[in-house]
Amino acid sequence: MKKILLSALLLLCFITAFAQQSDHVEMADELRSSGKIYVVVATITIIFVGLAIYLFSIDRRLKKIEKDK
C-alpha cells in the first residue's frame, strides 16, 4: 500500500513539474535586464553559506560532545 501511495505521489509531482514549464519568464528577464538578478543570486548564496557554516559548527559541537562521553 505504501509503495502505491508513494508512486502516485511521485507521479503527481512529476506531472505538476511539466505543467509549470514556460518558454518566457517575464520576471527573470526583467531582473536580468535591470541587473537585480545578481542581488537575488548573492542573497541566496549568503543564505546557503550561512546555513552551511551553522551546520558544520553544530557537527563539530556534536563530535566534541560524543568524544567527551
Look up residue 57 and give its three cell numbers.
Answer: 559548527
Range 17-36 average pLDDT: 71
pLDDT at 6: 82
pLDDT at 54: 97
- 69 pLDDT tier (thresholds 50, 70, 90): confident
Alpha helices, H only, 1-69: 2-19, 26-34, 37-68
Domain coverage including residue 30: 22-69
Range 1-27 average pLDDT: 71
Residue 40 in domain: yes
Question: Three-class SS of residue 49?
Answer: helix
Look up residue 53 and give its three cell numbers.
Answer: 557554516
Residue 59 in domain: yes
Look up residue 29 and give its three cell numbers.
Answer: 528577464
**pTM of structure:** 0.55
Residue 3 in domain: no
Look up residue 64 and give its three cell numbers.
Answer: 566534541
Residue 51 in domain: yes
Residue 37 in domain: yes
Residue 15 in domain: no
Mean pLDDT estimate for the chain: 84
Residue 67 in domain: yes
